[in-house]
Amino acid sequence: MEQRISLITLGVMDAEKATAFFDALGWVRVETQDGVIAYDLLGQTLGLYPLEKLAEDIGIDVAQLGRGALTLGYNARDRVGVDDVMGRVEGADGTVLKAPQEVFWGGYHGYFSDPEGHIWEVAHNPFSPLRGGDGAFRWTGY
């Protein structure tokens, strides 16, 4: 198995509301098959899929999906980028869980949940600078 994640699929109860949230953050959808909402990322795609359809596709009861202890991370180029994203969250119907602040390891971050309860971290890590033009992330930076 090659080391990568190609698609991150979030099961959502209200696809219209979840889509409106990401649209309000400025993300651009790509054309997809019926029932799937997709946003191409840098080398990956984020998919939004109805929760009951996801459970059906896996072959389990929807109650088994539960809520995993998982965060999705977005790294900004600088602290201003963190503040900008976090400032858009509530207007997009998300919830700020932790306002942006300095963190013990020398960075700056905050957390929010999208309308479906998925938790996102928005961070600037001065030890992992993003790649110039496209903003690609690697743990050890570019």
Give pLDDT, residue 68: 63
Q: Is it the case that residue 75 has pLDDT exceeding 90?
A: yes
Give pLDDT tens digits for 29-62: 998 877 789 999 988 999 999 988 888 888 888 8
b/e map 23-44, b = 16+ CB within 10 Å = eebeeeeeeeeeeebbbeeeee
Give pLDDT, residue 80: 98
Q: List Cβ<8 Å contacts ≥24 apart for 36-43.
A: 42/134, 42/135, 42/136, 42/137, 43/4, 43/136
Where residue 62 falls (left for φ over 0; alpha for ψ -120 to 50; beta otherwise) is alpha
Give pLDDT, residue 24: 96
Q: Structure tokens of 51?
A: 């929760």
Strands 95-102 and 45-50, sheet pairing: unpaired
**What is the mean pLDDT of the segment spanning 20-26?**
95
Q: Structure tokens of 117?
A: 């309860």
**CA torsion sign, 31 to 33 to 38 to 43?**
negative
pTM of the complete model: 0.82
Whose CA is closest to 122, among 132, 112, 134? 112
